[in-house]
Amino acid sequence: MTKYAFYPGCSLETGGIEYGMSSHAVAKALGIELLEVPDWNCCGASSAHMTDHLLSLALPARILALAETLPVTEIVAPCAACHARFAAVEYELGRDEELKQKVNSLLERPYTGKVKLRYYLDIFSNPETLSEIEKKVKKSLKGLKVACYYGCLFVKPPKIVNFVDDPEDPQSMDNIIRALGAEPVQWPYKTECCGASLGVTLEDHCTKLCNDILGFARDSGADCIVAACPLCQANLDMRQVTVEKKYGVSYRMPIPFFTQLIGLALGLDPKTLGFPKLFVDPVGMLKKVGVA
């Protein structure tokens, strides 16, 4: 059984709860063991790296150090912002012994770097697991057109966060979607920014960015935008009503997580996968693939 340390991050138990539910359900069905990091803390996200460089490294380094107590060699973070913070620790502390000691002097348990960061999409899109998924598909998602939305921080900047996918035209999610029988559409906004926390600090601009993304997805013929990051998903799903009001459009575009679609194709119950948690009603999309 493949084992990974699993860092849910604060979103997977709150705003992105369906991402957590579907991740666990799908992992179980595929024989992947996700071991939660004990007593994990928040990674600090962009608030920490805007505030203090050392803080922005110490918070994720504590998590990585705790992951070293688990019987694993790799850790995954389903949130792009958390992933990017872990990548920053590996990149910066891996190159600077003095900085590593400085960070470790703040921690009760030192970070050694023995548990490596793995790109979350890659634990499903690697060739072995992908063929496993193909074998286990019970309910093909044929006919469903999907805009794969990776967001920024899983793939940018490639030198630091990712060695698997292309930062401008990533393919791992597209390959997963194809394995499920659905069709990934060609569209130009795969890795454009959703505005992240500008939803709180400069809402108008966040609304504009989300409108651009939703508009391109619709114009590309997509039935839904599939997300891999809980913040992107929340902006596009929860704030879609704000976008529609401001721009006088009606998208009604469901924004499921990629793990929810894998689960559907594996024949799991939409409720177990957290579909009722989505703000934009996914029932039309579910009907199209014959599960509602």
Residue of 22, 78, 17, 15 lying closest to 260 (CA atoms): 22
Among 113, 158, 181, 215, binds other proteins (CB under 8 A): 158
Burial of 287 per CB tally in 10 Å (0-12, 13-18, 19+): exposed
User: How many positions of this chain bind other proteins (CB under 8 A)?
Assistant: 53
**195 touches other proteins by CB under 8 A:** yes
Residue of 265, 212, 292 lying closest to 30 (CA atoms): 265
Among 28, 31, 33, 47, binds other proteins (CB under 8 A): 47
- As a three-state string, the secondary structure of 38-99 is CCCCCCCHHHHHHHCHHHHHHHHHHHHHHHCCCCCCEEECCCHHHHHHHHHHHHHHHHCHHH
**283 touches other proteins by CB under 8 A:** no
Closest distance to other proteins from the beta carbon of 14 (Å): 6
Closest distance to other proteins from the beta carbon of 160 (Å): 8
**185 touches other proteins by CB under 8 A:** no
d(C-alpha 38, C-alpha 30), whole Å: 23
Closest distance to other proteins from the beta carbon of 31 (Å): 28
Closest distance to other proteins from the beta carbon of 259 (Å): 17
Between 84 and 177, whose beta carbon lies closer to other proteins? 84
What token pair was written down for 166? 């292309």
Q: Which stretch binds other proteins (CB under 8 A): 112-120, 169-177, 196-204, 265-273?
A: 196-204
d(C-alpha 208, C-alpha 194), whole Å: 9
Asked whether 132 and 30 are in contact (CB, 8 A), the reply is yes
d(C-alpha 227, C-alpha 207), whole Å: 17
**152 touches other proteins by CB under 8 A:** yes
Residues near other proteins, by CB under 8 A = 10, 13-15, 17, 39-42, 44-55, 58-59, 62, 84, 106-108, 152-153, 156-158, 167-168, 191-193, 195-202, 205, 208-209, 238, 276-277, 279
